Amino acid sequence: MESLRWVLASQSPRRRALMRLFGKPFEVHPAQIEEHLPEFTARPAALGKRLARAKAEAVAPCYSDALIIAADTLVVIDGWVLGKPADEQKAFEMLRLLSGRTHTVITALCLLLRQNGQTVQVVQDAPRSRVTFRPLSDEWIRWYLATGEPFDKAGAYGIQEYGALLIDKVHGCYFNVVGLPLATLATRLEQLGVWTPDNRYNPQRGATKP
């Protein structure tokens, strides 16, 4: 499937950057869906899979032959789902809730294979990581809010930027917390038969040798 088009159904710059590690050209086609997150769930992995699949299926009709890759990241603590904060007060409350505690991050994946205008295979996964925050003073939280980073991220933080200063430890895949679990995605791509490591690809150059 060398000529198969890859489509990332996400507008996240973090996911775009991580996708480049596979060395395959891909298109970006954000899914235009409204996400209605419940405040509480006993089955966060199932919720994440449903949302990721909805994103993939929203984009799929635009492509006859393609691999659609969609992802959805959930931050959950004690069953409470923390989405993107609506405002500064909500972000403050989320960070206060996470302070000094361990929570779960799930990034659900949906890989949807299209051939001749039909969906022929769907593969899903939802790996978990456990993230422990340092105890945060109000001063620390206000400092982090001032960076502007929390407002477009689930749980009101991003682990790969200023938010790294808030975190004590991570158990599980770091990239799962960033928003794209690379090892899981690589495994699923291989299972679909759409990607394998290729010695023609030079990771340092980021291009295919002639």
Opening angle at CA 3, ends 202 and 118, nearest 5? 135
What are the CB-based long-range contacts (under 8 Å, 24+) for 89-95?
A: 90/156, 91/145, 91/150, 91/151, 91/156, 92/141, 92/142, 92/145, 94/150, 94/155, 94/156, 95/136, 95/141, 95/144, 95/145, 95/150, 95/156, 95/157, 95/166
The 10 Å Cβ neighbour count of residue 98 is 24
Catalytic annotation present for 198: no
What's the CA gap between 76 and 69, in Å, rounded? Answer: 23
Q: Which of 72, 87, 138, 198 is catalytic?
A: 72
What single string gives the DSSP state of each residue in 59-80?
Answer: HGGG-SSEEEEEEEEEEEETTE
Catalytic residues: 72
